[in-house]
Structure 1
Amino acid sequence: MHPLVWPGVAAVLKLPLSVLLLAALPSRAATVSPLPPIECGAELQNVELEVGSSPLLVCVAPEVATYLRFDTPILVERTVLEGGEVSVTPSPTGVMLEATRGLAVGERRRLTIYFADGREPGSATFILVGQSMGKLRQVNVFRRERSPASLRQDADEQRQRAERCERQLAQGRGQAGPTELLERLLKLGATSGISLRWREAKPPVGQQGDVRVLNLSTTHVEVEEEQRAAAVRLRLRNVGTETWTPEGASLAAGEDQAPGNIRVLPDVSLPAGVVRKIDLIVGPTQQKLTGTYTLKLWGGGHELTLENITFQ
């Protein structure tokens, strides 16, 4: 992958996607209430675009340019900005952006571009976030192209896998215990055809240390009377400079210890700068999973403490 560089911009930095300024956001209207400013990150960033990619956050500021540079030609005439207060100058290989003084700090605008080759993904969407001041920035967008035929083939294969998994789960549901069933559902995800009910919780505020919790949710299953298992799903970011590996976890309610064993899935490390999802499976247990728990997750000299964990 060759870097794409505008004149006057520093040499390319190879950064992982998770530490880039660009982050997933749900679709929003063109003009919304101002939100807090975001961290703009490095002045030169690389990101891969693929089918299903979410809109991406990009900082814009007055009197300083932000460049979006593409490795595939775009349709200049189809560049669409929803709302105003941002100057947009498209070319076949990129877009130059500059906010006006009328764009409040934290205010967002939606920009959509379309590619010219007819392959997928056919477009890319960016959420432009107003900043009071900034530096010259460039975002290199590298597109992972797919043909319509390959997308249809993938969809057929996913449907077939889902059907096989659903048959296998139906056959094993009467034999598997709650922990085995829950672990199987977590590994299969959406392809299992069975939806777990997740309870969202707020991550702790004012987090310190190298490992930060971005999202937190819980779920549980009950195969039969007095047979239960639960899971805590964490989305973690390693903001440090070294790889972090979870080594153990505990769950307690007051002075009482965990209702069963706790295992971390998958058994992987979290490299520096990376965002990764992990699941912690609790059980099996005969206890009713009521009340509030404190979860601790540790490894490599770091420990996370998460309070007010519930499963109902």
Structure 2
Amino acid sequence: MHHSVSAVLLSLFLSGAGAALAQSPASTVGLSVRRIELVSDDTQPVAEVAVSPGLSTVFIFDSEVSREGVTLEGRERFAVLDAGLSTLRLVPSEKLFPGERLRLTVRFLDGAAPASATFVLVAHPARSEAHVEVYRRKRSVETYQEEVRLARIEAEQCREENERLRSERSAPDGLTGLISTAVLSGRGVDFRDLTEGVTQAPGGAAAKNFVYAYRTARRVAVEVHLNSRGDAQPWTAVGAMLRGKANEELKVLRVWQSGPLAPGSTNQRVVVEAESASESPQGPFTLKLWDADGRRTITLGNVTFP
């Protein structure tokens, strides 16, 4: 049984002809710090800031803000709205649906121009901008130096990612490819059937049928078999997130789907592959899948790995 399961995973990792394939977008959570500079005229476009249910977004201002002057559209859909003298922390609740756009306005206390700042909060199913710095006055040299330092780190990460992708693209297919890229590293493939233990949040774009988990020396994968719920519009996963209890995330490498999920097309497979060393935590994780516009999602809980 172990060998047959391993063979299935080998084909999932390296095949995909004629099937939908998407790369999960890079997370906006991590090293990045969003910096917004305000101007005193009306020509500045309204800045968009990504937010996500359950994740904190903190605005830091270089001027004191009026707590009574904070207005948030759809306030009832936020679990936390905490305004300080120069900070504002937001945590959307699950009532905030992907794709929603809500206006946030803050007013400053010193009477200088601009007297207020307005942002558009754009709801994403799994990604948020955790740290947003807002400047009304000229920024210090130190903030620019820090921005350059972070940009260099992110550029180096992109370079390493490009090298990895080129290496995998040039690797042969099948078992030889897994050996050449050191995915197995003498360990083989461990397997676990999660079908009974995995939970699904209500109202998802599709219904789970079977759920399997895999682990190699350097990768983990979740295979989800989905059934259509009769939605007339076909559904294809383009992004995924694997998040643990402490909000730690595994780096998703690819999302593969056997075909669009539409009425009459049952048991389509979605495979999410992520980076994970053998000593990484086994879970539980929450798996969230979303389509191109981010509005129709599937959320599975209690995902564990061998």
- Structure 2 length-normalised TM: 0.36
Higher relative contact order (CA 8 A, sep 6+): 2
- Structure 1 length-normalised TM: 0.36
